[in-house]
């Protein structure tokens, strides 16, 4: 059976893809408290990246690390939703999938925190 969504091309495909992306963002903001918290943090940190960064590379690293946390959180939420869709039964593979997603979010947060700490240190220490 052919997928009816795969026949779109050009601007029609882009329009539908953008709509699905916006629906995903809205759903994450509505249903995922961790994503909501990270979105509020991003609202403060993204403008601050332009103040803290001394070059476009530093601004890109600061802003990119914040956006990366949000991307990883969305992927983690997708994994959790998929596992829950399959079954709420406790299973070692389901636990492992969710734990891997959680670990990915932790690593993204640690990287983001490290980048921001280093930039703040450099800026405030005058180096």
Closest C-alpha to 79, from 113, 112, 116, 105: 105
Tokens standing for residue 39: 């979105």
- Residue 38 annotated in active site: no
Selected catalytic residue, list 32, 38, 58, 73 = 73
The angle formed by the CA atoms of residues 75, 80 and 84, to the nearest 5 degrees, is 150
* DSSP assigned state of 20: H
Task: Answer yes or no: are the C-beta atoms of 45 and 116 closer than 8 Å.
Answer: yes
**Gyration radius (Cα) of the chain, Å:** 18
Q: What is the residue-wise DSSP string for 95-124?
A: HHHHHHHHHHHHHHHHHHHHHHHHHHHHHH
Active site residues: 73
């Amino acid at each position: 059976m052919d997928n009816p969504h795969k026949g779109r091309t050009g601007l029609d495909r882009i329009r539908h893809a953008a709509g699905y992306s916006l629906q995903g963002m809205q759903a994450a903001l509505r249903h995922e408290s961790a994503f909501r918290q990270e979105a509020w943090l991003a609202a403060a940190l993204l403008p601050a990246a332009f103040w803290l960064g001394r070059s476009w590379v530093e601004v890109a690293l600061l802003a990119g690390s914040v956006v990366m946390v949000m991307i990883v959180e969305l992927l983690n939420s997708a994994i959790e939703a998929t596992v829950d869709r399959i079954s709420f039964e406790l299973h070692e593979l389901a636990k492992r999938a969710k734990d891997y997603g959680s670990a990915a979010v932790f690593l993204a947060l640690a990287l983001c925190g490290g980048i921001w700490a280093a930039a703040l240190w450099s800026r405030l220490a005058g180096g």
